[in-house]
Amino acid sequence: MEAKGHVVDNARAAVVGLETAFAEGALNHTPVLDAMLADLMVALEQEEGQKLGGKSAEAARFILRAMSRELDNA
């Protein structure tokens, strides 16, 4: 969640990491995490060839911070 680099790339990597953790049983789905993950996926949606930035990047940053706090409190 705190990786260096562009927030959109970091968010995509976080999604992969979360999905892997869910699949391996290292992390359990919760309504809060599932809602945050769904919101993050909306922020990361893009048309082919479209670059994400601005509002999408800020939304992803905000959601990643909230997810990080949720995981810290788990």
Is the pTM higher than 0.85?
no
Residue type, 50: Q
pLDDT band at residue 25 under the 50/70/90 scheme: very high
pLDDT tens string 37-53 = 998 888 887 655 555 55
> Tokens 């082919």 — which residue?
48
User: Terminal CA-to-CA distance of the chain, rounded, Å?
Assistant: 15
> What is the average pLDDT score of the chain?
82
For 2-44, the DSSP string reads --SS-HHHHHHHHHHHHHHHHHHTSS---HHHHHHHHHHHHHH
Q: Where are the domains of the chain?
A: 7-72
- At residue 26, the pLDDT reads 93
pLDDT band at residue 2 under the 50/70/90 scheme: low
Tokens of 18: 């979360």
